[in-house]
Homo-oligomer: A and B are copies of this chain.
Amino acid sequence: GFAKVDNHRNLRQGYPEVVFCQSKTVEQVVAICENIAQKGNNVLATRATPKMYEAVKGKLSKAKYNKMARVITIENEKVRVDKGYIAVVTGGTSDMAVAEEAAETAIALGNEVRTVYDAGVAGIHRLFANLETIQGARVVIAVAGMEGALASVVGGLVDKPVIAVPTSVGYGANFNGLSALLTMLNSCSSGVSVVNIDNGFGAGYLASMINRM
């Protein structure tokens, strides 16, 4: 009885409850996952350690794990959005963990996802080599740390919503993601909005919500 699992949310919001594993114990995570799965709902658990996955897997054998994304998923009923795809773009290779959290979330919510990784603006030819994929998407998630300039450049190239995810990747004057956060909030490209630093889940969830429209 320690946490109020909200099984009504499935009806109210069109999506099942999502488990945020950070600062929970392995026992708590297992209990919450079982509770959700029991009702026949799909499970999506973010910020899950390998230990948590193993414990969940022990109880719920359909559990899958994306290690880089740190995401556990259990698919009890098929969800599909037939509306084109979501593109997830990153500036560098070290932004990939956050990008995978976004991608796994969007996939779990039934969306097709295409990824373009390590396409940062410091070598803009890498971005242009993937322009078709980016411009063909219905929603773009732009994930970048350090300078965070990716969101603006992408925002100027597409006429679809761009969800910017600043990452804490970097050192020095990035101040744990502050530099990318501020850059993205100040984007001069229209159609760009921002979620919390490292919040891949939030970006994937919102992208799915928009893609369903």
**A→B interface (CB under 8 Å):** 2-4, 6, 9, 12-15, 18, 22-24, 28, 91-94, 96, 117-124, 126, 138, 146-149, 152-153, 155-157, 159-161, 163, 166, 168-199, 202-203, 205-206, 209-211, 213
> Is B175 a contact partner of A209 (Cβ separation < 8 A)?
no
Question: In the complex, what's the smallest C-beta–C-beta distance from A147 to chain B, in angstroms?
Answer: 4
> Is B192 a contact partner of A206 (Cβ separation < 8 A)?
yes
Which 8 A-B pairs have CB atoms at the shortest separation, nearest pair first?
A172-B197, A149-B149, A179-B182, A193-B193, A13-B159, A122-B188, A146-B186, A122-B189
Chain B residues, Cβ within 8 Å of A94 = 22-24
Chain B residues, Cβ within 8 Å of A6 = 123, 126
Q: Could you name 25 residue pairs across A and B whose Cβ atoms are closer than 8 Å? A: A3-B117, A18-B190, A22-B94, A22-B171, A121-B152, A121-B156, A121-B188, A122-B188, A124-B153, A124-B157, A147-B148, A147-B186, A149-B153, A149-B183, A163-B193, A166-B172, A172-B176, A172-B185, A172-B198, A173-B197, A179-B182, A185-B194, A186-B196, A190-B205, A193-B194
Q: How far is the CA of A48 from the CA of B146 in the complex (A)?
A: 19
Q: Quick one: copies of this chain in the complex?
A: 8
Instruction: Given A168-B172, A193-B203, output 16 extra A-B contacts at Cβ < 8 Å.
Output: A13-B190, A120-B188, A121-B121, A121-B156, A122-B155, A138-B213, A171-B196, A172-B197, A173-B182, A173-B185, A173-B196, A174-B186, A180-B183, A190-B202, A191-B209, A192-B202
Chain B residues, Cβ within 8 Å of A193 = 163, 193-195, 202-203, 206
Question: In the complex, what's the smallest C-beta–C-beta distance from A173 to chain B, in angstroms?
Answer: 4
Q: How far is the CA of A146 from the CA of B94 in the complex (A)?
A: 25
Query: Looking at A93, A149, A186, which has the most chain B CB atoms within 10 Å of its CB?
Result: A186
- Contact of A199 (CB < 8 Å), options: B91, B121, B160, B172: B172
Query: Looking at A18, A22, A189, A205, which has the most chain B CB atoms within 10 Å of its CB?
Result: A189
Q: How far is the CA of A45 from the CA of B40 in the complex (A)?
A: 45
Q: How far is the CA of A198 from the CA of B166 in the complex (A)?
A: 20
